[in-house]
Amino acid sequence: MIDYDKITDIFCIVDEFCKDFDATTQPFLLGKPSKRPPTMSKSEIISICMLFHLSGFRCFKHFYIFYLQRHMQREFPNTVSYNRFVELSQSVLMPMSIFLKTCCLGLCTGISFVDSTPIRVCHTKRIKRNKVFKGIAEVGKSTMGWFYGFKLHIVLSDKGEILNFAITQANVDDREPLKNEAFLKAVFGKLFADKGYISEKLTKILFVGDIHLITNIRNNMKNSLMTMNDKIMLRKRSVIETVNDELKNICQVEHSRHRSFTNFITNIVSGLIAYSFLPKKPSISYQQNRSNQILAF
């Protein structure tokens, strides 16, 4: 379980953001506001969603009923029923997403990594029986085989901080998000990826935008000159695989118990926010040696 002081810090950060969000969006709301004050505030709902991903529980219902409502009454005295909270958690998807984009993403240092990981919504044997994601999810293939669901694309810094993310269907090519300028808006310098991102056209497009895409080569490709530093950094690309593993096994962005698409997105966004609050993130350490030697490209 996480420390109670950490709970207070998280709630204070979220509460300050929610106050600014309400003050900014209040003039643009349609209709008359409800005269009945809400039982739980937006900051409480968002904080509880984040705390679940940091608590170690595998089931949110058990976390909410048997832990939060019993042992955290001092921190959250006005909790609602479980079914009502599930409805409220879906209603705060917009402020939660804006909080992730504005307050939880890291800063680029010139060395970044990009990769995608499958988000399975059910077993492949139950694809035809799945009604929640019918017409939304697709069948795709990864290095581990075929799966039904979506792909989570993330850009990671060398410090283990997420720079940006995107959610696509499972049959979307890994290189498609890189063609979107908004996805790599905060990225510059060298971007390391696996062989699935090999594309001469994409490399030229990114190079114009001050991004050098570096990948390994396939067996049927001609060899290309590469500096020793780039070869070493390609070997350290496993750091993003570690982050993907933590997102699934610690922050639990992947499970098969969703009952709506909105609940699915809410779970992923809250999991990404929870990752940003982890005390220790996977990172790499390296030293750059400056030399006057002319490099050949």
Using one digit for the tens of pLDDT, what is the confidence trace for 40-55? 999 999 999 999 999 8
Q: Return the exposure string of 71-106: e unless at least 16 CB atoms fall within 10 Å of the residue's CB, then b.
A: ebeebbeebbeeeebbebbeebbebbbbbbeeebbb
Q: Which single residue is written with the structure tokens 């003050």?
A: 23
The residues spanned by each domain of the chain are 4-104, 111-255
Say what the pLDDT of residue 47 is.
94
225 has a pLDDT exceeding 90: no
Element (H, E) at 259: none
Say what the pLDDT of residue 52 is.
93
Say what the pLDDT of residue 297 is.
42
CATH annotation of 111-255: 3.30.420
244 has a pLDDT exceeding 90: yes
Cα–Cα distance for residue pair 252/263, rounded to 1 Å? 13
Q: Which single residue is written with the structure tokens 């269907």?
A: 169
146 — pLDDT class (breaks 50, 70, 90): very high
Say what the pLDDT of residue 27 is.
86
In this structure, what token pair is assigned to residue 68?
Answer: 């939060």
Query: Going by C-beta distance under 8 Å and a sequence separation of 6 or more, which residues neighbour residue 8?
Result: 75
Query: Going by C-beta distance under 8 Å and a sequence separation of 6 or more, which residues neighbour residue 113?
Result: 155, 156, 157, 158, 191, 192, 193, 237, 239, 240
Q: Which residue has the higher pLDDT, 3 or 256?
A: 256
296 has a pLDDT exceeding 50: no
2 has a pLDDT exceeding 70: no
Burial class (CB in 10 A: 0-12, 13-18, 19+), 221: exposed
Burial class (CB in 10 A: 0-12, 13-18, 19+), 241: middle
Say what the pLDDT of residue 257 is.
87
Residues 88-110 have a mean pLDDT of: 93
User: Which runs of consecutive H residues, i.e. helices, occur in the chain?
Assistant: 4-25, 42-55, 60-62, 69-71, 82-91, 93-103, 200-208, 228-235, 238-249, 261-276
Q: Under DSSP, is residue 112 helix (H, G, I), strand (E, B) or coil?
A: strand
pLDDT tens digit sequence for 251-291: 999 988 888 999 999 999 999 999 999 988 998 876 665 55
17 has a pLDDT exceeding 80: yes
Lowest mean pLDDT among 26-40, 67-81, 132-146, 219-233: 219-233
In this structure, what token pair is assigned to residue 161?
Answer: 């901080």
Q: 0.85 exceeded by the pTM? A: yes
295 has a pLDDT exceeding 70: no
% of the chain at pLDDT higher than 70 = 92
